[in-house]
A and B are shown apart, each in its own frame.
Chain A
Amino acid sequence: MSHPAALRSRAEALAAPLPPLMADAEHLASTVLLGEHGRRRSGTGDEFWQYRPAHAGDEARMIDWRRSGRSDAHFVREKEWQAAQSVLLWVDDAASMGFSGARDHPTKAERARVLAMAVAVLLMRGGERVGLSGMGLPPRSGPLQLLRLAEALSAEREAPDYGAPETRGMPPHSRALFVSDFLGDLAPVEAALAKAADRGVKGAILQVLDPAEEAFPFDGRTIFESMGGSMVHETLKAGDLRDRYLDRLAARKARLDHLARTTGWHYHCHHTGDSAQGALLWLFRALERVR
């Protein structure tokens, strides 16, 4: 039997990453008001839909006795059908996401995780099922799933320099959200989107970039390394490369936008220097539009 104090300290260390992520996400999600999204037909749900006369075959416990007592016929109380949608999230956890250009900005990975969690919170409140693609966390609903999501998103693991989207375990006709910086090879992204389109999955691509990656504020003799150190480029005058770098970045964004358009997805570029709320609102609208 271990010492209670030691057990407690281990438990607290384990729980430490969860509350801030949850709190951040809840805080962000609380800024968006959910609208009504019933299915306009009777079914299982919480909201009252209509009274109908009881048919043969209705169980006696289904009869609404209060309503029936006011007339001679028996009535059954029907609720509005509220269908739950499955939404799968893919959050890039590659090393490149760990970059932050300034001390007062969060890293890209942090921002991506908070946004994904916030979307998950919002969707759960709306009654949807949320899961992570390919990580063994199938779509479910309920506060426990939120905790599991937070745990999975906060987990530290070895990662390559640049990530590629995961499409395994994606149910047909579900929704999906890809959050990454999309700086790596675009071929896997294309493949993933094509596969998703084949299965009738629609969704949104959120590109998270650091302001430094947009501005390229470097000068002088510099050796650039990727976050994992696998790629190296040396220049004598970094300032001269700026224009060409920006051209290439713009081309990449345009390509992503085009890809999304052709597969019926939505594309948005978010900067960690900006407020997360704007991105959340866009995400909320984008995932709603698909619906």
Chain B
Amino acid sequence: MFMLGPIGFTAPLLLWALAALPVLWLLLRAVPPAPIRRRFPGVVLLLGLSDDENQTDTTPWWLLLLRILAVAAVIVGFAGPVLNPQDERSGSGPVLIFVDGTWADARDWSRRIDRIDAALEEAARDARPVAVVQATDLPDGGLPFQAAEAWRARLAGLKPTPWMPDARTIVEWAEGLEGGFDTFWMSGGVDYPGRRELLATFEASGNLRVFESPRPAYALRPAEFADGAISLTALRARTGDGAEVGLVATGLDPAGVERDLARANAAFAPGEAEARVEMVLPPELRNRITRFSVAGVRSAGAVSLTDDSLKRREVALIAGRDDREGLQLLSPLFYLDKALAPTADLIDGTLADIILASPDVIVLADVATLAGAEAQELEGWVEDGGLLLRFAGPRLAASDVSRAEEDPLMPVRLRAGGRSVGGAMSWGEPKALRPFAETSPFFGLDVPDDVRVSAQVMAQPDPQLAERSIAALTDGTPLVTRKRLGEGQVVLFHVTANAEWSTLPLSGLFVQMLERLAVSTRPARPAAADLAGTTWVAEAVLNGFGEIEDAGRLSGVPGERLADARPSADLPPGLYAGEDRRLALNVIGPDTELAASAWPARIPVEGLAVTRETALKGALLTLALILLAADILASLWLSGRLRSAKAGLAAVLALGLILPVEARAQSGADDELALRATSEVVLAHVVTGDARVDQVAEAGLRGLSDKLFQRTSIEPAAPIGVNLETDELSFFPFLYWPVTANQPLPSPDAYAKLNRYLRTGGMILFDTRDADVARFGGGSPEGRKLQAIARPLDVPPLEPVPSDHVLTRTFYLLQDFPGRHASRDVWVEAAPPDAVRAEGMPFRDLNDGVTPVVIGGNDWAAAWAVDPQGAAMFPVGRGYAGERQREIAYRFGVNLVMHVLTGNYKSDQVHVPALLDRLGQ
């Protein structure tokens, strides 16, 4: 093969064609670009005009260069260039490719597969038979030598296993090998028993090449929980410089989505193989964790599943005598607190809050009665799977709870008073406990001799009492009773939770009983003896990459093997469920050590990197295509055919420049309106689109503003017309809305704005301007329009202004609300039906706030309207009576604006004496 530096050519003779390039240069140079033919009537005017210069009849040099390069790339491409051609071929005879295939290999499994593939390719070229063997999955009998191509097809099926090879099997297999073969050993980098024997066998059979990744293998030990913190230990196989790995706790978030719940960094000190880190998490978070893993490492060893031992139950303690300043040892909760604190998370608070927090267990110590709502909520909580644990006490004994009929939150009916035995005033001795029956959850617990019960509450003998009783005294009276309620249960200890009535809380039995009731959790991992005879079923299993898979139909596993904690092919690591708890079996046990695989100095260890032949033909031909495409564009540009594209580009750029400017102008106008509307009080009217009506409305509000300015402390600025579609309404306290028969209905957006405006305290004065001739029957066109406009509005129930409405006395004392017309019917928000007039008061105690709408038809704007000189624009009524009506109209306007701005201030009863005085009562 012809070599040029690192590049070889398969068809070097073709390179002679490069010599023809200069000829091509001359040829191409002589051909000018093809002309465009255009139809153009103005050609008459062009006749006789000649070109100044003959510049473009040859192709420009850079275009020539482009074309020459493209041709050169084609020539060189077809000459078959190859980067890093591989020439070395060595050896003959069968090859064994031995893969460790443990979880430690999983971290760079794809590179391993690539390397095996390269080795297979090499073997295929030399026609050597190959056997691929995985240490964790040894073939029966001899080595399965086959053609390399057959193995390549099966390579994708090769997967790392989440367990280590079994030492005994390995040694036996190695001893059984015979015949000469060369060996490629893909080592996982982690030592395992039996490896030494393997090495000896392989070296004896032929050449041995070892491949190992220099990246360290990381692993994670199961998490331990102590003193409120989770302790995690990360391991590494190869000690060396200091390093830091991230540890991630993964679990379901409240929405049920799996995500990382916490992270911590574990730092390896130089030369150390272990790194510890502690995580402190709130119990809600901690109970959700399903596994820990080393961040960024894809391996079963770097994943540690958690089981019930990490979970801690949340227990809420509530006592009936919290308010009593008693001695601490007499507190009903003291012993419970002591018993539960090491193994459960305790919550306190009021019952209502606690139910919201949804704890696993609620303990009621001597709580007799519950408020109705609380009892109902508690019952719901129990039915959803909660465990309610009750203790008796003096209060329960004295109360009537569950006396005549069974309380849902009590397991049995109680007899009045309870009993005490062995006291100063009674016969007999304090009673001991009877051994637990087989049906009791406490079965198997030893009953200490010194537990004595001196007082208890007594259960009524009922048909179900026998089945509900789970612990009894020697004389057969029930001590602990239990009842299923929905998915949960209610348990009653017939004694107190402190040592007043019995010595039970003082004994170790108390803690064990709580444990059996699943109030507290058991200490970590059960011993082999505990597991003997039990059967466990896998719920989820880990694969070699540390991914959790569905267990499918794996058969049950005896507890003894699980206690052994050694994952293997028939006991894959994962989560195993037993009768009442789950156990995690992890790749790395609590005391697993990692050791790096050691190789004798005589064996060179190669990395996994593969140098491969790279054919450059495709790349060069692609380059030639790209150059030719560029040539097309350049030719088009030269002949002036790219013009329209350029114009389009310019248009796009121009558009980009113009748009932001417009947007800015728009926001500027908004700001101006906001400043005008908010720097002073401004009355506003709705723009109806009818120029005359809008003009009158504007003039009317101007007249009203003038009157307000003269007579009151309100000093409004010039009124503003508001466009409902575009303008912000929240700046205006008051909107005047003249209704015309042909105005358009507001858009849904505008309605949303109007409703927000009404809810947040704005007021709209609707004026149908028809003297209300139709009495709101919808007879007049304006009335019908008003109905159409108001239908989507959030308007409360209305009533005609009552005589004691606050509108009648916010500034002037009024009973009529005329405008240009003097109809009486003006409608406002209805008073609440329960508003009553107190004795001696002239007014009812009416609703707070401002009526959101005032509806009438008196054409107030026309009565208020003034021209720029301040003269009234429209006549009202006749003569003096008319002027009086206009004055009342102004007074109504003043009252209205006062009502808008001061709310129900005048409704306040504080002012009643002054108002009474003025009313002459």
Nearest-CB residue, chain B, relative to A219: B640
- Among A44-52, A128-136, A224-232, the stretch that binds chain B is A224-232
Q: Which residues on the B side are within 8 Å of A235 (C-beta)? A: 46, 49, 51
B30-54 interface mask toward A, CB cutoff 8 Å, 1 = contact, 0 = none?
A: 0011111111111111110101111
Q: Which residues on the B side are within 8 Å of A184 (C-beta)? A: 44
Check A222 for interface membership: any CB of B closer than 8 A.
yes
Check A241 for interface membership: any CB of B closer than 8 A.
yes
Contact between B41 and A226 (Cβ–Cβ < 8 Å)? yes
Check A216 for interface membership: any CB of B closer than 8 A.
yes
Question: What separation, in Å, do the CA atoms of A183 and B43 have in the docked complex?
Answer: 9
Check B837 for interface membership: any CB of A closer than 8 A.
no
Check A162 for interface membership: any CB of B closer than 8 A.
yes
Question: What separation, in Å, do the CA atoms of A252 and B42 have in the docked complex?
Answer: 12
Nearest-CB residue, chain B, relative to A222: B36
Contact between B52 and A245 (Cβ–Cβ < 8 Å)? no
Residues 33-84 of B contacting A (Cβ, < 8 Å): 33-47, 49, 51-57
Question: What separation, in Å, do the CA atoms of A183 and B641 have in the docked complex?
Answer: 26
Contact between B51 and A227 (Cβ–Cβ < 8 Å)? no
The smallest C-beta distance from A221 to any residue of chain B, in angstroms, reads: 4
Question: What separation, in Å, do the CA atoms of A234 and B46 have in the docked complex?
Answer: 9
Contact between B51 and A240 (Cβ–Cβ < 8 Å)? yes
Contact between A236 and B44 (Cβ–Cβ < 8 Å)? no
Check A81 for interface membership: any CB of B closer than 8 A.
no
Q: Which residues on the B side are within 8 Å of A213 (C-beta)? A: 40-42
Nearest-CB residue, chain B, relative to A248: B45
Q: Which residues on the A side are within 8 Å of B41 (C-beta)? A: 96-97, 99, 162, 181, 183, 210, 213, 226-227
Check B215 for interface membership: any CB of A closer than 8 A.
no
Nearest-CB residue, chain B, relative to A226: B43
Question: What separation, in Å, do the CA atoms of A238 and B47 have in the docked complex?
Answer: 13
Check A233 for interface membership: any CB of B closer than 8 A.
yes
Q: Which residues on the B side are within 8 Å of A232 (C-beta)? A: 43
Contact between A249 and B42 (Cβ–Cβ < 8 Å)? yes
Contacts A237-B56, A244-B49: A222 and B640 contacting too (C-beta < 8 A)? yes
Identify A183's interface contact among B35, B44, B638, B640, CB under 8 A. Answer: B44
Nearest-CB residue, chain A, relative to B46: A233
Question: What separation, in Å, do the CA atoms of A227 and B42 have in the docked complex?
Answer: 10
The smallest C-beta distance from B473 to any residue of chain A, in angstroms, reads: 103
Contacts A237-B55, A240-B52: A220 and B43 contacting too (C-beta < 8 A)? no
Q: Which residues on the A side are within 8 Å of B54 (C-beta)? A: 236
Contact between A245 and B45 (Cβ–Cβ < 8 Å)? yes
Contact between A221 and B32 (Cβ–Cβ < 8 Å)? yes
Check A144 for interface membership: any CB of B closer than 8 A.
no
Check A218 for interface membership: any CB of B closer than 8 A.
yes
Identify B44's interface contact among A162, A222, A223, CB under 8 A. Answer: A162
Question: What separation, in Å, do the CA atoms of A237 and B639 have in the docked complex?
Answer: 9
Check A217 for interface membership: any CB of B closer than 8 A.
yes
Check B884 for interface membership: any CB of A closer than 8 A.
no
Nearest-CB residue, chain B, relative to A236: B51
Q: Which residues on the A side are within 8 Å of B44 (C-beta)? A: 162, 183-184, 226, 231
Nearest-CB residue, chain B, relative to A232: B43
Contact between A241 and B35 (Cβ–Cβ < 8 Å)? no
Residues 627-659 of B contacting A (Cβ, < 8 Å): 638-641, 643
Q: Which residues on the B side are within 8 Å of A236 (C-beta)? A: 32, 51, 54-57
Nearest-CB residue, chain B, relative to A245: B45
Contacts A218-B640, A223-B38, A235-B51: A241 and B32 contacting too (C-beta < 8 A)? no
Nearest-CB residue, chain B, relative to A97: B41
Nearest-CB residue, chain B, relative to A240: B52
Question: What separation, in Å, do the CA atoms of A210 and B42 have in the docked complex?
Answer: 10
Contact between B40 and A221 (Cβ–Cβ < 8 Å)? no
The smallest C-beta distance from A228 to any residue of chain B, in angstroms, reads: 9
Question: What separation, in Å, do the CA atoms of A216 and B40 have in the docked complex?
Answer: 10
Contacts A237-B53, A241-B46: A225 and B40 contacting too (C-beta < 8 A)? yes
Identify B35's interface contact among A181, A221, A252, CB under 8 A. Answer: A221
Residues 16-35 of B contacting A (Cβ, < 8 Å): 32-35
Q: Which residues on the A side are within 8 Å of B35 (C-beta)? A: 220-223, 234
Contact between B51 and A237 (Cβ–Cβ < 8 Å)? yes
The smallest C-beta distance from A285 to any residue of chain B, in angstroms, reads: 28
Contact between B38 and A241 (Cβ–Cβ < 8 Å)? no
Most buried by A among B39, B46, B638, B640: B46
The smallest C-beta distance from B35 to any residue of chain A, in angstroms, reads: 4
Question: What separation, in Å, do the CA atoms of A241 and B643 have in the docked complex?
Answer: 17
Contacts A241-B46, A249-B45: A222 and B38 contacting too (C-beta < 8 A)? yes
The smallest C-beta distance from A47 to any residue of chain B, in angstroms, reads: 35
The smallest C-beta distance from A68 to any residue of chain B, in angstroms, reads: 48
Contact between A227 and B39 (Cβ–Cβ < 8 Å)? yes
Contact between B38 and A225 (Cβ–Cβ < 8 Å)? yes
Contacts A218-B640, A236-B56, A245-B45: A224 and B40 contacting too (C-beta < 8 A)? yes
The smallest C-beta distance from B482 to any residue of chain A, in angstroms, reads: 88
Q: Which residues on the A side are within 8 Å of B56 (C-beta)? A: 220-221, 236-237
Question: What separation, in Å, do the CA atoms of A238 and B36 have in the docked complex?
Answer: 10
The smallest C-beta distance from A230 to any residue of chain B, in angstroms, reads: 10
Most buried by A among B44, B56, B639, B643: B44
Q: Which residues on the B side are within 8 Å of A252 (C-beta)? A: 45
The smallest C-beta distance from A112 to any residue of chain B, in angstroms, reads: 13
Question: What separation, in Å, do the CA atoms of A248 and B34 have in the docked complex?
Answer: 28
Contact between B39 and A99 (Cβ–Cβ < 8 Å)? yes
Nearest-CB residue, chain A, relative to B638: A220
Q: Which residues on the A side are within 8 Å of B47 (C-beta)? A: 231, 233
Contacts A236-B56, A236-B57, A240-B52: A220 and B641 contacting too (C-beta < 8 A)? yes
Identify B46's interface contact among A210, A224, A227, A237, CB under 8 A. Answer: A224
The smallest C-beta distance from B633 to any residue of chain A, in angstroms, reads: 14
Question: What separation, in Å, do the CA atoms of A252 and B45 have in the docked complex?
Answer: 9
Question: What separation, in Å, do the CA atoms of A241 and B48 have in the docked complex?
Answer: 11
Contact between B42 and A245 (Cβ–Cβ < 8 Å)? yes
Q: Which residues on the B side are within 8 Å of A96 (C-beta)? A: 41
Contact between A231 and B36 (Cβ–Cβ < 8 Å)? no
Question: What separation, in Å, do the CA atoms of A216 and B43 have in the docked complex?
Answer: 11
Q: Which residues on the B side are within 8 Å of A219 (C-beta)? A: 640, 643
Identify A223's interface contact among B37, B52, B55, B57, CB under 8 A. Answer: B37
Residues 857-877 of B contacting A (Cβ, < 8 Å): none
The smallest C-beta distance from B52 to any residue of chain A, in angstroms, reads: 5
Most buried by A among B45, B641, B643: B45
Identify B45's interface contact among A99, A183, A218, A227, CB under 8 A. Answer: A183
Question: What separation, in Å, do the CA atoms of A235 and B43 have in the docked complex?
Answer: 11
Nearest-CB residue, chain B, relative to A108: B41
Contact between B639 and A220 (Cβ–Cβ < 8 Å)? yes
B156-178 interface mask toward A, CB cutoff 8 Å, 1 = contact, 0 = none?
A: 00000000000000000000000
Question: What separation, in Å, do the CA atoms of A227 and B43 have in the docked complex?
Answer: 9
Most buried by B among A162, A224, A226, A238: A224
Nearest-CB residue, chain A, relative to B40: A224
Question: What separation, in Å, do the CA atoms of A227 and B34 have in the docked complex?
Answer: 21
The smallest C-beta distance from A224 to any residue of chain B, in angstroms, reads: 4
Most buried by A among B36, B53, B643: B36
Question: What separation, in Å, do the CA atoms of A244 and B40 have in the docked complex?
Answer: 16
Question: What separation, in Å, do the CA atoms of A248 and B639 have in the docked complex?
Answer: 25
Question: What separation, in Å, do the CA atoms of A238 and B56 have in the docked complex?
Answer: 11
Nearest-CB residue, chain A, relative to B636: A220
The smallest C-beta distance from A245 to any residue of chain B, in angstroms, reads: 6
Given A183-B45, A212-B40, A213-B42, 14 other A-B residues pairs in contact with their CB atoms under 8 A: A183-B44, A221-B33, A221-B639, A221-B640, A222-B37, A224-B43, A225-B38, A225-B40, A225-B43, A226-B44, A235-B46, A236-B51, A236-B54, A236-B55
23 contacts between A and B (CB under 8 A): A99-B41, A181-B41, A183-B44, A184-B44, A210-B41, A217-B643, A220-B36, A220-B639, A221-B33, A221-B35, A222-B37, A223-B35, A223-B38, A224-B40, A225-B37, A231-B47, A236-B54, A236-B56, A236-B57, A237-B51, A237-B56, A245-B46, A245-B49
Residues of B within 8 A of A (CB): 32-47, 49, 51-57, 638-641, 643
- 8 closest Cβ contacts across the A-B interface? A220-B640, A219-B640, A96-B41, A221-B35, A248-B45, A224-B43, A220-B639, A233-B46
